[in-house]
Structure 1
């Protein structure tokens, strides 16, 4: 029930390396936004009452930051222990951080204790571990959902290193997994298999890896006609993988029919007009996913939806709805606009349908009215 709250880990990309920070944020008092006065004069009483029930205090933001040397190319929180995070720096180093003190700080600070709401300067904290063995900076980074503490990082030189937890540290083999001919853009661990992960690259391919065989990938498949920027492995339907490319294409793959000789996608969406920068399957619906693009949009897709010609004809005859453009995919459920260069889109794990997007001009928290169950 409203109001809700959420915890966020985010990193900055400042113009000076020493100005960057890694921030833990707690957003409280998340509630429904009120309708514009002239948006719908026929709004019924129940909707009006619902808005009134959520018209209390404004949302609050608590922030606790640590200094991060270099731009944060990517940050990922360990799913089993979210206060432990890994970051890719443009310095070429991968770092693991213990942010439990920062989490405690934002959880115990109340709005009355914030004074005028100033954000404190980042504190200096040493990372738990720094890996300097990559040959270049990178963006690919993912924690295993199966083995707690297992991490994979990929760089722009095409190398991938797997981190294995040992006591309170990590053992990282100096010899990388090699198979890509260009930058590794994203990595996804299998939701079910402990030793399997996938990677995508600007060499237009996706590789499937077994951690017990680092010399070459188990499978290397050309999936797009442009750089493959991002990917997401479906945790609710383990055979499904989504990939997004530099030419704006978003493709869905069934791993049961994923092969090098004749790769066949399940779906191919060309709605985005620029590079796909982020994609993630919904944690509450195996057929739903969200994508972000450099065309300044975030889209929500439902693969279970199909165009019904008879239903559309009946709606037009009754003049209930306008006819959708013929090139508009029926699976496109929602388009969020007004962003400037969005980079990440993430689903809230506990509030079905709630999304967080990050962009050059800030971040948005929103829930499309037609996605997921109604949030009370």
Structure 2
């Protein structure tokens, strides 16, 4: 399926022989005796040093800035280890551009290494029949920041453990556009997961046995466990991307939206899953995002290709939006409610801009302005998410191959900005002071904060997944 990769380790092809210094492998010399491997390695190192002295000029590193920096023909992108506390990558057979982090029972506020995380994702395989729902356990995630000389920690495992990837798959005949785990899975012990497919069908899976398989010796997963427990067909073959579970209804309450502007509500009853026949209608175009309110049980927000953000109340018999706000002249791609300040909603657009809205200013027949707005990115915003505990921090993914971290609480006067720009030889000119961090992620698609590992994130793109933690947060 895939493999864990430490991007700072040397890479070797699988059919190459690798000898350790001092071992008895290697080529024969002219006398027929085996060449001493350790001496051979030392000779190679000395030769490389000599070539570097004679031919190489000192390498100058530069800061990469999205939409501003361009790599030259002989330039390569390398992560600066000193700014990461943790950084690991997962290479997958097929792109997995939508995923969710599964809450586990290993405890909250986990700050000690090595770390473990569980993830579920849906693939975008070249052939439909090869698609899967993947349940993964990533363990032995060590610190990747280099030790300081002053670091007196004796726990070498924090730095030296090799990452481990384990996975189980559930076959699905379609590409997965969006996948989400019920927020009540940890509390109920039932790990309900919804996936919206390109076929227009929404599958509800119970991945409980797959999640427990990794940590329960002797577990067996039977064929029926690999099938969805329910399929929502009300979208009638119309593709969709919007999907969200209610944070209030533990039994299961799911919103789904499609490219024709229809939003359906599905609830779990004693008799099974029931989808309302009447759709919520109001968008003139595709519904790109749905987000249940974090504080109001019956309220949700939607964003669409018509550039509108709409607020709805499921109690309304009209199934029409309560409030509509024109947020952008382009698509509203993604949204995120603030978990700590319930009236704040972050939105990201197709023109690369993103903003934060105060819903207290959302009133009928008015056009409020966002409380914060940024145009740092020049490519579509593909993901946005408020930090789960820090109400001013936001993670933003963009098609410009980056995930950026922002602190809205930061303020800087003109003199301070000028000083920072001068110290960076002009590289930071025009950079918003709220920008904390830039993480390279090719074709960045989704990013999620890990609620149980403070400051850690998982992001995905065209070249796989990254599990990382910046020293900035």
TM-aligned CA distance change 1:316 to 1:152, over 3 Å: closer
Q: Shift of residue 129 of structure 1?
A: 0.6
TM-score (normalised: structure 1): 0.88
1:55 CA drift (Å): 2.9
Change (3 A) 1:123 1:353: farther
- Report whether the alignment pairs 1:356 with 2:464: no
Are 2:172 and 1:64 equivalent residues in the alignment? no
Decide which of 299, 303, 306 is 2:404's aligned counterpart.
299
For 2:418 and 2:368, how far apart are their aligned partners in 1? 36
Closer, same or farther: CA 50–299 of 1 in aligned 2, 3 Å: farther
Contact kept? 1:354, 1:366, Cα under 8 Å: yes
Aligned to 1:113: none
Task: From 396, 412, 430, give the equivalent of 1:327.
Answer: 430
* Change in CA separation of 1:330 and 1:170 when aligned onto 2, cut-off 3 Å: same
CA drift of 1:51 comes to 8.5
1:48–1:309 Cα change, 3 Å: farther
User: C-alpha offsets along residues 12-68 of structure 1, whole Å, 9 cap, x if unaligned?
Assistant: 011111110001111111121143xxxxxxx74234857945233211111011001
Q: Which residue of 1 aligns with 2:98?
A: none
The match for 1:188 is 291
Q: CA, structure 1 residues 140+233, in 2 after alignment: closer, same or farther (shift >3 Å)? A: same
SS at match of 1:18: helix
Shift of residue 261, structure 1, vs aligned partner: 2.2
Q: What is aligned with 2:93?
A: none
The one of 102, 120, 123 equivalent to 2:210 is 102
1:199 to 302, 320, 328: 302
Describe the shift of the 1:55–1:215 C-alpha distance in structure 2 as closer, same or farther (beyond 3 A). closer
The one of 345, 354, 361 aligned to 2:447: 345
Q: Provide the C-alpha distance between the structure 2 equivalents of 1:316 and 1:249, rounded to a whole number of angstroms.
A: 23
**Higher relative contact order, chain-length normalized (CA < 8 Å, sep 6+):** 2
- Tell me: CA distance 1:363–1:44, structure 2 relative to 1, closer, same or farther (3 Å): closer
| 1:45 corresponds to | 149
Structure 2 match to 1:217: 321
- Please point out which of 228, 231, 242 is paired with 1:130: 231
Q: C-alpha displacement at 1:108, in angstroms?
A: 3.1
Gaps of at least 5 residues in structure 1 are 36-42, 111-119, 372-376
| Separation in structure 2 between the aligned mates of residue 316 and residue 359 of structure 1, nearest angstrom | 31
Quick one: which of 130, 137, 140 aligns to 1:26?
137
* Bigger radius of gyration: 2
CA RMSD for the aligned pairs? 2.4
Residue 145 of structure 1 is matched in structure 2 by 247
Report matched runs for 1:253-332 at 5 Å.
253-259=357-363, 260-309=365-414, 311=416, 325-332=428-435
* Alignment deviations for residues 220-270 of structure 1 (CA, whole Å, 9 cap, x no partner): 111011011000011111010000010000111000112452221011111
Q: Secondary structure at the match of 2:211?
A: helix
1:340 Cα shift? 1.9
2:185 to 81, 84, 91: 81
Deviates more, 1:219-228 or 1:325-334: 325-334
